[in-house]
Chain A
């Protein structure tokens, strides 16, 4: 990658990380406040208490995995002069 390409890729990755944050916040809202009316229980917990804690955690891990797998690219960190 040239310096210019690296820069563009980094901006893309940063933007994607920001979008991932928004998706996570949406899921977090749904998992806690959204599900708090449900009377279902799972493993002795109200549904919201399970999904908004362990659920959010697992959701975040999957989200980061998707980011690093499909958006992030490996690049040489040392400077290349042809850019």
Chain B
């Protein structure tokens, strides 16, 4: 551990958070001039993102603190099979933007939609489905955000020597405030800064890991001699084929349906930017995933003991940082992983807040025939964002155990709920309300039950159950139920 309470360990992070807050206030002040309605401004940044920021915010939202801590810890233990598996995430940006990017952009403009749930409500003409979708989003997002808070604060405590609570206060309060104040535009710009800090962090750690381990050649020779299994794809059984399969589904293909990713399709300015973002995003997400996990493997050169001597896989990266970084740079080294954590939290917080404000409350007001002024929407949206953030913050103060499992659990739940509903809903005419309802409700419920009971088929992650069942239910419902009326289909499928 670093010298306890050394202010140098705190300064870079404190500075970084101050800059994030500054960006948010600036964005807020700029928006005062205000064009478009408040909701469009706050929840999708007036659909004005350029290619670079779109790419960075998509990557930063997707990359969580576990990509920076748990993941490379596993790479340290397993070897190159882990990078081989992690590299499937190069699909995470181009798939969602390529498949849904223009589709939701056009539909959102047509209907004045600012959320993914808006579009689903319109497609399936169902308030119940929209309410269920909003509920699922808020539930799983809270779980994911808690995992991010806990992961970031644990790393902070392990590396700086300050307490867990101090870390949580330092970056947790800041992320809630800057998200609530600045809305989507602030989230997108701060995300881009976070992505850049993550890359700097990776390069920094990579360099010092090489340095401490005695150089690239020496480290690789050490691995070849002492840990030859790290050079095999199956790693002597530590990387079973089933894991590769489920990772393709869980962190590759099905991520296209994550609402926090899809909503980015509503937020960009023009198709040139979208195309650029697909390329930039693929470059960046690959760089991060390969870079950080490769760093994990190379840490073998500096950390040669058995895993238990470091206190488990999740401690590998914190101990590595403390071991290899010069004390003056430790503060800088934690900014990257914390940036990964807050950039995920900010986006989830905002989408969660939009689900409550726009998809539930405002819709209810509209059905009552009441209008809501922009001013009260502004106050309400900021308040809901802040309260939601504060709630998650409180849970994180006394974190539930097994928090890392919760993160992947939430990923799978969101994918089960939204994958077929979005994919078939937006590209298949025959998709109808009954199918979507069965698929989202039944699939998610069974997925949660299977997780809760620890039930697996052929030892595979429960996402395989969730995603297959939600497809079957979708098809059954769509063929049993009536097709949607012509006027709806005409809006969605002008063919």
**Residues of A that sit less than 8 Å from B by CB:** 3-4, 6-8, 10-11, 13-14, 16-18, 20-21, 24-25, 28, 32-33, 36, 44-46, 48-49, 52-54, 56-57, 60-61, 64-65, 67-68, 72-75, 77-79, 83
**Given known A-B contacts A14-B98, A17-B95, A46-B231, A74 and B279 have beta carbons under 8 A apart:** no
Using CB atoms and an 8 Å cutoff, list the residues of chain B in contact with chain A: 80, 83-84, 87-88, 90-91, 94-95, 98-100, 102-103, 105-106, 109-110, 216-217, 220-221, 231-233, 248, 253, 270-272, 275-276, 278-279, 282-283, 286-287, 290, 294, 427, 493-495
Partner of B278, one of A44, A49, A53, A67: A67
CA distance A77 to B275 in the complex (A): 14
7 A-B pairs with least C-beta separation = A17-B98, A57-B286, A44-B220, A49-B80, A68-B275, A60-B90, A53-B83
* Min CB gap B222→A, angstroms: 11
Say which residue of A18, A53, A73 sits within 8 Å of B99 (CB atoms).
Answer: A18
Closest to A52 in B: B84
Separation in Å of the A72 CB from the closest CB of chain B?
Answer: 6
Question: Which of A20, A53, A65 is the one whose CB lies under 8 Å from B80?
Answer: A53
Q: Is the CB of B290 within 8 A of A54?
A: yes
Residue in contact with A78 in the complex, picked from B109, B217, B253, CB distance below 8 Å: B109
Q: Which residue of chain B is the closest to A54 with respect to CB atoms?
A: B290
Do the beta carbons of A77 and B270 come within 8 Å of each other? yes
B94-A17 in contact (CB<8A): yes
Contact A60 B91 (CB under 8 A): yes
Q: Are A53 and B87 in contact (CB under 8 A)?
A: yes
Chain B residues with Cβ under 8 A from A17's Cβ? 94-95, 98-99
Across the interface, B84 reaches (CB within 8 A) one of A13, A18, A32, A67, namely A32
Taking CB atoms, residues of chain B closer than 8 Å to A24 are 90-91
Q: Shortest beta-carbon distance, B442 to chain A, in Å?
A: 25
A68 vs B276: C-alpha distance when bound (angstroms): 8
Among A14, A49, A65, the residue within 8 A (CB) of B103 is A14
- The docked-state distance in angstroms from the alpha carbon of A46 to that of B231 is 7
Seed contacts A8-B495, A49-B84; 19 additional CB < 8 Å A-B pairs: A6-B106, A7-B494, A10-B102, A20-B94, A21-B95, A21-B253, A24-B90, A36-B232, A49-B83, A52-B233, A54-B290, A57-B87, A64-B94, A72-B98, A74-B270, A74-B272, A74-B275, A77-B105, A77-B270
